[in-house]
Structure 1
Amino acid sequence: MTEITTHLGAGTLLGIAACSVVLLLILIMRFKVHAFLALTLVSIVVALVTGVPFDKIVPTILGGFGSTLAGVALLVGLGAMIGRLLEISGGAKVLADTLVGKFGSHRAPLALGVASLMFGFPIFFDAGLVVMLPIIFSVAKQFGGSTLKYALPAAGAFAVMHALLPPHPGPVAASELLGANIGLLVIVGLVIAIPTWYLGAYLFGQYAGKKFHVPLPSTFLGSVEVDTNNKPPAFSTVLAILLLPLVLIFLDTGLNTATVIGWVSADNIVVQFLRMLGKTPVALLITVFFALSVFSGNRSRQHLEKVCDGALGPICGIILVTGAGGMFGGVLRASGIGNALAGVLSDTGMPVIVAAFVISTALRVAQGSATVALTTTAALISPMVAVTPGLSQFDLCFIVVAIAGGATVLSHVNDSGFWLVGRFLEMDEKTTLKTWTVMETLLGTIAFLFALVGSIIL
């Protein structure tokens, strides 16, 4: 999105950003204005106050809304279909029963978290979450209690893997900008990611599950028609459906990493075709048709069409609110608030790794997008890194992790992920702030502390 030139100072811009968040929370929590309406209204107000020209206001908000929907709508829609097919066929319950049987009923949240860590290596956060949700809900339905107890360890696993490890785009971009070795970053990121997840997502998820009772959502995977005469699919079949998008997506992320390293040519037509198959929407589309072919034996095509149609209705609100969250963040970025903040912080005299975390955190809070915060921070501090003597490859990897930690913390109302998780779990904004926002802040802070300690020791 194009940044709009403004004559306002950095302090004024930051004050506007803070006031806009407060206004949004007041509208939603105090006056009970629907989040979609409140986000749209505040986005327009921010554009006006920051001096965006009248003829640029609508294109600016539509640009933020559309770019978010482009990344979310297809994933959520296709993921909802996969989830409904797994639920109605009994496949979700088969996988849940198998996981619980291996780990034990008292370790069900741990089982979901470990599975999500493995699935989260190649798959992006939002795609992994929507595919995993039917499994989470099936386990929660079977054992009861707050859905948070099961959902946060899984969501936190996807968030950690997406933020810290290649082949996800943020770490790959940051490592390229700073000259970090991607292979070493995978090892360092994994060593930090596992304890970070356990402390910040699993343990906090168990605490949040006791403190906040969040029932199973009535939408997305609400009541489904269960055919008592239907034979549930085999565990291997369900696993194949879940692994198919992971394998396909790894074609894209893995080959992207290989081209950055120089192992394969980006101009190779076979590489380009395989990467196209691995794009998340294409991978999920292929998976939907694969699931339809698997489950068509016991059900008519007309019935399966109705199942897919029924999966889409409940998620429309989720998609619109998520898009509006992206619109709000897009307006903040276009107004120059993020860059103003970066300019204030870029020459602070702090150690490189601390400056990396602080700048990334500030950008994350100001404009919402973790990817923008990560890549912008890496670009800002790369000159500082270049002139800092004695930095080893380990140091560079720890700096990338510190940036990723800052880009993870304090997910709030200008982050589309905040609305995605909150709406999927049917939490109000106050509960989402107390659970999702706190967990994201724990994950980012713990990852940074591990990186800081590592940079001191090694």
Structure 2
Amino acid sequence: MEEITPAYGTATLLLIAAGAVAFLLVLILRFRLHAFVALTLVSLLTALITGVAFKDIVPTLMTGFGSTLASVALLVGFGAMIGRLLQVTGGAQVLADKLISVFGESRAPFALGVASLLFGFPIFFDAGLVVMLPIIFSIATRLGGSVLTYALPAAGAFAVMHAFVPPHPGPVAAGDLLGADLGLLVLVGLVIGLPTWFLGGYLYGLWAGRRFVLPVPAFMTGGDAGALAGPPPTFKTVMTVLLLPLGLIFLNTGLNTLATAGVVSGDATWVNMLRMIGQTPVALLITVIVAMRLLGEGRSGVEIEKIMDGALGPVCAIILVTGAGGMFGGVLRASGIGQALASSLSSVGLPLIVAAFLIATALRVAQGSATVALTTTAGLLAPTVAATEGLSVFDHCFLVIAIACGSTVLSHVNDSGFWLVGRFLEMDEKMTLRTWTVMETLLGTIGFLIALIGWWLL
């Protein structure tokens, strides 16, 4: 499909984008139209209003929908299967008991956050969250209180690691475009990311849990778990299942980082084979098969099939709504809204690190994807960074983090993560805006302020 030239100026595109988001919220919140239908309708109307050619409208919708499903559907499906096996066989409860025994009941949210930070180093946000959810729900069921108390610290940990720290694709690509040292970027990302998570993810999660009392989702508390319950797996078996995708995915992300740094050849057959095995869908497929063998020991094939089949039903709506959110974001990208906003902000003459944050924020708000906002902003600023004298190796890293922070804030209805988190926690759109969106904005803002201080001091 040919690149679509924007039909309007920046101001008009901005008004259209604001109107589209407002109309979408009205349809969902006021008229209670299902999010899948509302997102599809508003995507179609936005494409028409922004001047996308009639012949390109449906391909644009399908591209946004399909590309999101390609990255989400397999991960959510396989992740849900692993999670269901952990839940039904008692594996989630085994890990929950271990975490509580080590950290204590009062520190269970902190324990979940720390575990998510470790898992989030090589594993992507959506895959990591889906695999961790059964443990989160198991602890929330046992200890009581709002599920947000346990879910937000973990979700915030995955979000920070995904945006701030290589070997995730966004910071790796931005670091490469801006000439940042990737090894140093890992250290800077962790130094900034850990306090950012503690303040904006963990502490906010505790506050939100007291403020908004939400039960554990019904699809995680009902069903056939009791009928199929058998001897629970050992802690070693549960950790094997959880660490297997972690190790496999690290083959891809770790080798990708080494190839970018020139340590290994990206054309070597053995490198590409291991990276293929470490691709998230393949890693999760292998983990599903291993989990069926280890966690399903002592159960018949019919029972295992029933567990796996029961895992997919509740997540079908999540997958479709997430894909529709990607469709809406795709239309906003194709219409030129994000590019127009970024070009306008880049010409204002702000300090470089502030401009980096604001451009990434504009792109994030306009089209939804954090990775797209991160890489696009880095590409836009790369010539300016290259021409700016006196930037230290730390300054390059702070610029990457500032862009990552801008690409994190204000997650809303055009972000697939917004729908993923909201639907898994069974929150309506208003509650998702009041919790998930607020946490994402806190994470981005706190991280940027820390990076800005570092920019001034170093």
Q: TM-score normalised to the size of structure 2? A: 0.99
- Equivalent position SS for 1:349: coil
What residue is the counterpart of 2:93 in the other structure? Answer: 93
C-alpha change, 1:229 and 1:208, in structure 2 (3 Å) is closer
Using the TM superposition, give the Cα deviation of residue 225 of structure 1 relative to its aligned residue in structure 2, in angstroms: 2.2
What residue is the counterpart of 1:320 in the other structure? Answer: 320
Confirm or deny: 8 A CA contact 2:6 2:335 kept in the other structure: yes
Using the TM superposition, give the Cα deviation of residue 133 of structure 1 relative to its aligned residue in structure 2, in angstroms: 0.3
- Equivalent position SS for 1:219: helix
Distance in 2 of aligned mates of 1:437 and 1:140: 22
Give the superposed CA RMSD. 1.1
- Are residues 1:443 and 2:443 paired? yes
Confirm or deny: 8 A CA contact 2:43 2:327 kept in the other structure: yes
Confirm or deny: 8 A CA contact 2:128 2:158 kept in the other structure: yes
Matches within 5 A, 1:1-80: 3-80=3-80
| Deviations 1:70-110 (CA, angstroms, capped at 9, x unpaired) | 00000000000000000111000000000011000000100
State the percentage of identical aligned residues. Answer: 69
Structure 2: gaps of 5 or more residues: none
Using the TM superposition, give the Cα deviation of residue 221 of structure 1 relative to its aligned residue in structure 2, in angstroms: 6.1
Moved over 4 A (4+): none
C-alpha change, 1:389 and 1:93, in structure 2 (3 Å) is same
Q: Which amino acid aligns with 1:290?
A: V
Q: Which amino acid aligns with 2:201?
A: A
What residue is the counterpart of 2:130 in the other structure? Answer: 130
Q: Which amino acid aligns with 1:405?
A: C
Distance in 2 of aligned mates of 1:243 and 1:26: 43
Confirm or deny: 8 A CA contact 1:3 1:336 kept in the other structure: no
Confirm or deny: 8 A CA contact 1:252 1:274 kept in the other structure: yes
Confirm or deny: 8 A CA contact 2:109 2:149 kept in the other structure: yes
What residue is the counterpart of 2:230 in the other structure? Answer: 230
Matches within 5 A, 1:303-314: 303-314=303-314
Distance in 1 of aligned mates of 2:160 and 2:447: 9
Confirm or deny: 8 A CA contact 2:86 2:295 kept in the other structure: no
- Equivalent position SS for 2:226: coil
| Deviations 1:191-244 (CA, angstroms, capped at 9, x unpaired) | 111100000000000010011111111125643322587211111110110000
- Equivalent position SS for 2:22: helix
Q: Which amino acid aligns with 1:22?
A: A
C-alpha change, 1:126 and 1:221, in structure 2 (3 Å) is farther
What residue is the counterpart of 1:380 in the other structure? Answer: 380
Matches within 5 A, 1:220-259: 222-226=222-226, 230-259=230-259
Q: Which amino acid aligns with 1:447?
A: G
Distance in 1 of aligned mates of 2:122 and 2:326: 24
Q: Which amino acid aligns with 1:319?
A: I
Distance in 2 of aligned mates of 1:411 and 1:199: 18
Distance in 1 of aligned mates of 2:6 and 2:146: 47
Confirm or deny: 8 A CA contact 2:338 2:363 kept in the other structure: yes
Matches within 5 A, 1:103-142: 103-142=103-142
Q: Which amino acid aligns with 1:23?
A: F
- Equivalent position SS for 1:180: coil
Using the TM superposition, give the Cα deviation of residue 426 of structure 1 relative to its aligned residue in structure 2, in angstroms: 0.5
| Deviations 1:342-391 (CA, angstroms, capped at 9, x unpaired) | 11111121111111001000110111111111011001111111121110
Confirm or deny: 8 A CA contact 2:412 2:437 kept in the other structure: yes
Distance in 2 of aligned mates of 1:228 and 1:316: 23
Distance in 2 of aligned mates of 1:222 and 1:259: 46
What residue is the counterpart of 1:176 in the other structure? Answer: 176
Distance in 2 of aligned mates of 1:229 and 1:69: 33
What residue is the counterpart of 1:84 in the other structure? Answer: 84
Using the TM superposition, give the Cα deviation of residue 4 of structure 1 relative to its aligned residue in structure 2, in angstroms: 1.4
- Are residues 1:206 and 2:206 paired? yes
What residue is the counterpart of 2:426 in the other structure? Answer: 426
Structure 1: gaps of 5 or more residues: none
Count of paired positions: 458
